[in-house]
Structure 1
Amino acid sequence: MKIAYFVLPHLGGTYTVFRNLRAGLAPHGIELCWLGFVPVGQGLAPGLEREAAFGTLVEVPSQDDDRVAARLMEKAILAGAFDGVVVNVLSDRIQTNIVRYLPADLLRLMVVHNITPGTYAAAEVIQPHVHATVCVSQRCRDDLVKRHHFPAMRTSVIANAVAIDAFSATDRSPRPIGQGLRLLFLGRIEDASKGVLWLPDILTRLPASSTLTIAGEGPDLRRLKAVMPEDAPRVIYAGPVAAQAVPALLARHDIFLMPSRYEGLPMALVEAMTAGCVPVASRIRGVTEMIIEHGRDGLLFPVGDTVGVAEIVRALDKDRARLGSLSAAARRKVEGAFTVERMAADYAAILRGVAADPPPIAAPLPMDAWSMPRGLRAGLRTFLPRPVKNWLRGIRERL
């Protein structure tokens, strides 16, 4: 079986999921290949050229409308002799929409990576055209089944997972008392979802010996540096980090700080726990609670509670034995429940089941009638001021 996974190689969680899933599905006789598009002449991002061996890059005229890209994507899918496709909802709007137009004999699997109203609206639009839906967290499945009427028998939870072996060679030396704790933020530098603009307030409340490394890139990096400059004491901006360098980076830090407003199930969190980097994360119902057992293998705080974060870190700074216990328990949690082997086996079972007995889905739409449905267009929430949206997101999680 050969499956196209809609994603463009990049330094980020969605592509890390692809890489792990590709390796995990191979023993099941399933070949997973990435499929993505870029404007003509752009090519893959520097440093990712070797990923071309695992997928197909579709070049599209940058000035043409969605239909041109959609037709070229369809042509690449048919030319690749794929048996099915995996669409990551809202990773790209054209690729999300195209599942409504593909030939009827192609298997379609939808993966929902986030819990936002916009993500759910997009998923609802294409649900009649997919054979099965995978949610990366329990919260996501509960929302889709209970509130958006997704068929329960065709909606599953498969958590993102990591390749344990990639982290086995990383040594974690205990931090001596007297030396400050090393905190790490790793991910997209974006305030709306990741809450990065809370980081300066958190750091100012910590002991002077604590340091904070910020690894990644994103649209709010400039804003973050404006309030917490690169030359500020105790702050290190590490920039984007290649996947193969992540285990060593995590091993050099004591605490993984995740002040997010909303998530699906972030790969960086699973990776941090695998490396024994103790997670201190926002309490997001059905998401972070799904992997972190508060007080046992990590610590949770209410969304936006910067005072609470500082209190947690200060307590761990004074109790290194507890820090070590949480570190060991975090790694055991991943080894027991979040392995690539388990993730791949679950995906393989769904793909095999759908191939053997495909459930009825809506007939494909004609490509000549291509249009972007309402659920894939910007809604009214898009135009709300950022502070208002952020306030509403915080309230949503606290209620």
Structure 2
Amino acid sequence: MRVDFLITELNVGGAEKALTELALGMQRRGHRVRVLSIGSAPSADRHRLVDRLANEHVTVEFGGFDHWSRMISATRWLARRIHADPPDVCQTFLFHANCLGTLAAKRAGVRHVVGGLRVAEAKRVRLILESKAIRRMSHLVCVSEQVRSFAIEQLSANPQSCSVIPNGVDAPTYRDAVALDWSQIGWPSESQVAVFIGRLHPQKGIELIQQQFHELFADHSNRRLVMIGDGPLREPLSRWADEVGQDRVKILPWQNDVAPFLKAATMLLLPSHYEGMPNIVLEAMAAGCVTVCSRVEGSIELLGDASTRRGQSQGFAAGDGAALTRLADAFFRSPELRRQIGEANQLHVENYFSNRQMIERYEALYELLLSR
């Protein structure tokens, strides 16, 4: 089978990690795999996924189209590259690749184009463009049941050609990681640290953590908060951290390896307004970490039976700061509760969200499409 994977860019993110694991898995199973990135190659410090693909001889090509004003040129480039070496299946990831890649693949004569919907973002222009792209697809893969419902209700996706394949994770990477010693970032080793890891963007609901900081952290000398990532909120968050005090809050840049942070963390905080299936929750669960996250698309599906132990949930209603504080405070206070739920999280991920399962599901879908 010949498969092209089309993606907006290859910086390290949830969708990019999933694509990389899928491309590597399909290559190892004997299929011809190629990755086409609309954007430019990542900077040297964020080249990890590209290096992994190159090390296993997966062809990766970059268009260098980093701005929406070049979308026509990007579509033509994709169509030329696809036509030069036609695949049996094109799989697109992320909004721009869904829209431009689907159009390019159809122009190049590819019969089977599979889209990838990874987030339930209800912006009007985005809905219009992505719904048009979906009509050209042979099939649409959603990362969660809630995202599938969103696709059917908001994007007019055909339920018969719309399925769910959740993300996978390499559980041993996080399970066996060596925990970070907090003294490495200037804090006492015994600190209780809540971590936020992700794009510093309004989508992530970071303002809720700021609003609840005093009640959750300020009156407890051993509790601290570290936020890891880059994005449009980085500067205002850095100013806020300076005001609060670097002895209580640190804003760290994007990290090449977050496993040591998750292994050492008291909990993960993720108060997002919307998601699809957040990879960082999978990674935290694989590390045996408690996750305090909003009940948005994908998060509760990830937690599954691990979401409640001894009457203690890991989820709260999006935007409910008081609920976030009650939940996080309960975990700060009880090491036994954290241990119990952390072990349940780890087992749940290993049983239901492995990379092997994800790759097998995609491979079966492609084979089904080609058999028709």
Structure 1 residues 43 and 27, CA, compared in 2 at 3 Å: closer, same or farther? Answer: closer
Q: Larger deviation: 233-242 or 55-64?
A: 55-64
- Asked if structure 2 preserves the Cα contact closer than 8 Å seen for 1:24 and 1:344, the reply is yes
Q: Which residue of 1 aligns with 2:272?
A: 260
Partner Cα distance (1:211, 1:6) in 2: 40
Unaligned runs of 5+ in 1: 358-399
1:251-330 alignment, distance < 5 Å: 251-284=263-296, 286-293=297-304, 294-296=307-309, 299-330=314-345
Instruction: Output the amino acid matched with 2:248.
Output: R
- Which of the two has greater helix per residue? 2
Q: Deviations over 1:167-203 (max 9, x none)?
A: 2422569x9xx94421110110001x10112222232
Question: 1:365 corresponds to which residue?
Answer: none
Point out where structure 2 has 5 or more consecutive residues left out of the alignment: 183-188
- Could you say if the C-alpha distance between residues 182 and 35 of structure 1 is closer, same or farther in structure 2, counting changes exceeding 3 Å? same
What's the counterpart of residue 185 of structure 2?
none
TM-score (norm 2): 0.84
2:88 to 78, 83, 86: 83
Distance 1:270 1:335 in 2: 10
Residue 298 and residue 241 in structure 1: after superposition, are their counterparts in 2 closer, same or farther (change >3 A)? Answer: farther
How far apart are 1:85 and its partner, in Å? Answer: 1.4
Cα offset for 1:93? 7.1
Q: Does 1:238 align with 2:245?
A: no
Tell me, in whole angstroms, the C-alpha distance in 2 between the residues paired with 1:133 and 1:99: 17
SS in 1 for 2:301: helix
Is 2:202 the partner of 1:202?
A: no
Matches within 5 A, 1:1-399: 1-7=1-7, 8-38=9-39, 43-47=41-45, 48=47, 50=51, 53=54, 54=58, 55-59=60-64, 65-92=70-97, 95-96=100-101, 98-99=103-104, 101-118=106-123, 120-146=127-153, 148-171=155-178, 179-191=190-202, 193-206=203-216, 207-229=220-242, 231-242=245-256, 245-284=257-296, 286-293=297-304, 294-296=307-309, 299-357=314-372
Matched length: 348
Q: 1:85 to 1:63 in 2, by over 3 A?
A: closer
Q: Is the 8 A contact 1:137 1:287 kept in 2?
A: yes
Q: Is the 8 A contact 2:24 2:53 kept in 1?
A: no
Q: Which amino acid aligns with 1:46?
A: A
3-state DSSP of counterpart to 1:229: helix
User: How big is the shift at 1:25?
Assistant: 2.4
Aligned partners of 1:326, 1:229: CA distance in 2, in Å? 33
User: How big is the shift at 1:29?
Assistant: 2.9
Mapped partners of 2:265, 2:277: distance in 1 = 21
Secondary structure at the aligned position of 1:292 is classed as helix
Question: What letter is aligned with 1:126?
Answer: A
Q: 2: distance between equivalents of 1:18 and 1:70?
A: 20
- How far has the Cα of 1:298 moved from its partner? 5.7
How many angstroms apart in 2 are the aligned matches of 1:70 and 1:123? 15
**Native 8 Å contact 1:100 1:126 kept in 2:** no
Judging changes above 3 Å, is the alpha-carbon distance between structure 1 residues 331 and 60 closer, same or farther for their aligned structure 2 residues? closer
Question: How much does 1:144 deviate?
Answer: 2.5
Q: 1:31 to 1:241 in 2, by over 3 A?
A: farther
Aligned CA RMSD, in angstroms, stands at 2.8
Letter paired with 1:216: G
* 1:347-391 residue CA offsets vs partner (Å, 9 max, x unmatched): 01111111121xxxxxxxxxxxxxxxxxxxxxxxxxxxxxxxxxx
Q: CA 1:147–1:200 in structure 2 vs 1: closer, same or farther (change >3 Å)?
A: closer
Distance in 1 between residues matched to 2:149 and 2:70, nearest whole Å:
36
Query: How far does residue 13 in structure 1 lie from its aligned partner after superposition?
Result: 1.1
Q: TM-score, normalised by structure 1?
A: 0.79
Distance (Å, rounded) in 2 between the aligned partners of 1:205 and 1:135: 38
Give the fraction of aligned pairs with identical amino acids, expressed as a percent.
Answer: 20
Q: CA 1:132–1:319 in 2, change beyond 3 Å: closer, same or farther?
A: same
Task: State the Cα distance separating 1:91 from its structure 2 match.
Answer: 4.1
Which segment is superposed worse, 58-67 or 212-221? 58-67
In structure 2, relative to structure 1, the CA distance for the partners of 1:253 and 1:314 (3 Å cut) is: same
Query: Residue type matched to 1:252 in 2?
Result: A
**Contact 2:99/2:130 (<8 A) preserved:** no
Q: 1:109 to 1:94 in 2, by over 3 A?
A: closer
SS in 2 for 1:335: helix
CA contact under 8 A between 1:298 and 1:326: conserved in structure 2?
Answer: no
The one-character-per-residue Cα deviations of 1:74-116 (angstroms, maximum 9, x if unpaired) are 1122234433211124145763563474333342000101112
Question: Does the aligned pair in 1 maintain the 2:288–2:343 contact within 8 Å?
Answer: yes
Whether the 8 Å contact between 2:229 and 2:255 is mirrored in structure 1 is yes
